[in-house]
Copies of this chain bind each other. A is one copy, B any other.
Amino acid sequence: MTLADDLEKARAALTMIHREPFNAEAPPDALNGDITPTELHYVRSNFAVPAHDGALEIGGAVEHPRTLTIDGLRAMPSVERVVTLECAGNGRLAMRPLPAGEPWGDYAVSTARWTGALLHQVLEQANPSAEGVEVRFTGADHGSYLLHPVLTDVNSNDLTFVRSLTLAHATDPEAEILVAYEMNGEPLDPDHGAPFRLIVPRWYGVASVKWLTHVDVLTEPYAGEFETGHYMYQWADRPPERVTLMRVRARITDPARGATIPVGTYTVRGKAWSGAGPITNVDVSVTGEGDWHTAQVEPPKGPYQWQDWSFAWEATEPGRHSLRARATDAAGDVQPHVPPWNRLGYGNNAIEVSYVDVR
């Protein structure tokens, strides 16, 4: 099998949004389980799958620069975490005016079990300088970035995917950032960042740099295109802000949108997640009248993964019914009806409106 054959097989079950670079949503029923099987996990790439020489260079403002390989990472204490990742552009297709960018529906969110070394331990071994303020993460992926002609401030023929985190965040043991080399118990596949990638729990997926090649401690803040150009909330009426934590969001997984269900009691089910903390409340509406009912929210099975919720709906009236679910997280954030618009279409955590036909 060639790489192309492998990729084609790995991608077959996904809903392709863009062929090259490959971007694809999970199929809707992939949201039913706790863990998304790897072949159903959404894929977001800014560039084509790159070659990677197997080396991870730890450098910059550190006392002990070093080169790690996968064997070196595996020799470190191994940590396994279940992490929900969502693309910051998930839901863009529902924003109005429609923003530029990949036309993601609502299925660029998935949850996998990631295994790797802890980033803070990797950094401790290198011993960052006292002058360090940020850590820069470089992926092997690069290329032309004139995908969106309207965004003409970016027109590079060879841009590389680079992101940063504050040194405090990167070295915080409680942040549990991973340099992950396994996904759902298998070595990473090419679309998910083989041989290793960052996994930054709680943050939108953009922070979890794939195909990682360099980790550099910086003494100045980093200001690359994917940090200060793209992946910024470019608001209509106030200064831009970086895309960071996943916003609180509930999804209805059952019934499916537009489904026909029988008259009677129907258990509406879904998922909910937030980067700011566990989900404390999900409210469900079954009409357009503002009839919010409290759903049962299951306790989190881990600190970084979506939670199940359910609501027993007495669907007694035949006809079309609108369904809505609205999550609240431990930080007190609640999903809005209409999140503020931003030019590149990030962070759409609007209350989902679905409908079903009761027969």
Contacts and interface: CB of A to CB of B under 8 A. Distances in A.
A135 to B, nearest CB: 33
A287 B149 CA distance: 11
Nearest to A339: B96
A13 to B, nearest CB: 14
A177 B317 CA distance: 37
Contacts of A338: 96-97
A318 to B, nearest CB: 5
Q: Count chain B CB atoms within 10 A of each CB in A17, A288, A318, A353 and give the residue with the most.
A: A288
A120 interface: no
A338 B101 CA distance: 19
Q: Within the oligomer, what is the number of copies of this chain?
A: 2
A45 to B, nearest CB: 13
Interface residues of A, number: 39
Contact of A98 (B19, B97, B319, B322): B322
Interface string A108-151: 00000000000000000000000000000000000000001110
A350 B96 contact: yes
Contacts of A288: 92, 98-101, 103, 345
A355 B103 contact: yes
Q: Closest 10 A-B residue pairs measured CB to CB?
A: A97-B337, A150-B289, A103-B322, A17-B320, A18-B319, A96-B338, A100-B288, A98-B288, A19-B318, A96-B337
Interface of A: 15-19, 23, 92-93, 96-103, 105, 148-150, 287-290, 317-322, 324, 337-338, 345, 350-351, 353, 355, 357
